[in-house]
Each structure stands twice: as C-alpha cells, then as structure tokens.
Amino acid sequence: MIQRAIDLDMRLRWVLYDEIGMTDLISHHPKDQVEYVSSFINATPRYSDLRLAELFDVWTSYTQSHPGGLSFEAMREITNLGYTEADLITLDAAREPYGVNNTPNGLYTAVTGNSIMRSRWIGGSTSIAASP
C-alpha cells in the first residue's frame, strides 16, 4: 500500500525529470528581442485587430525593412507573455552571492549590470529576457 502511494506520487516527477526540460517550463528572451517586438507592435496600425495570416504578412514586411533575426514564432511568444517595464530588472550578484567564486571574474558576478526581464512561466505569467 505504501509502495503504491509512492509510485503514484513519483509518476509526475518522472515525467518532469525525464521528459520536460527547463525551456518547456520557462521561456528566455533577450531584452533587445523584447524591445524589437515592442517596436514592431508600436509601428503596426491595428495590431490587435490583425488575423494570424495578416500578422504574418505584416511581420514579414517589417523584418525586411528592420532586420532583427527574430522568428515569427518567437515574436508571438514574446507578445503572448506580455512583458512590461515593470518586468525589467538589473542583476546585482552582490545582493545574492551564489557559489564559491564571487570574485570580479567569477561565473555569477560576470552578469552584474545586465538588464533582464523577470521570469515568466510558459502558459502563465512568469520568461527571462536578458540583455546581451
């Protein structure tokens, strides 16, 4: 009976550990990509009224005149996540030291000063958009 309860409890964990990667749960977008999509939306009249095929045509036209190297699918994902200025934060490794190498050239201290977007869960409201 106890073994059955353990087996049932572990069933989802096996899927999470074995089948689902972090990118299936949390999305990551560089800050400049989020800004690029925002510029596209601001430059597109009636953006929210466009059907998918119309949006694709407008996107294709926009990316030809404003190269950005972003796919239509990535644009849609960023749009659906709904980033705002409130999501923008600046990393400061000194606030939360992590690991043993917190020297100026350490793995985690090297990101100090980077601007990122707060985490966004896919399908919910939490993706990371980091500046290069």
Per DSSP, the residues of 43-109 read HSTTGGG--HHHHHHHHHHHHHHS-----HHHHHHHHHHT--GGGEEE--TTTS--SS--STTSTTG
Within a domain: 6:
no
Number of structural domains (the chain) is 1
Q: Which domain holds residue 84?
A: 23-130
Cβ atoms < 10 Å from Cβ of 80: 12
Q: How sure is the predictor about 31, in pLDDT bands with cuts at 50, 70 and 90?
A: confident
Within a domain: 14:
no
Within a domain: 89:
yes
Within a domain: 7:
no
Within a domain: 123:
yes
pLDDT above 80 (res 130): no
Which tokens is 52 given? 């998918």
Q: Which stretch, 11-20, 30-39, 46-55, 122-131, has highest mean pLDDT?
A: 46-55
Within a domain: 3:
no
Average pLDDT over residues 46-63: 96
Average pLDDT over residues 39-59: 96
pLDDT above 80 (res 67): yes
Average pLDDT over residues 108-127: 61
Within a domain: 10:
no
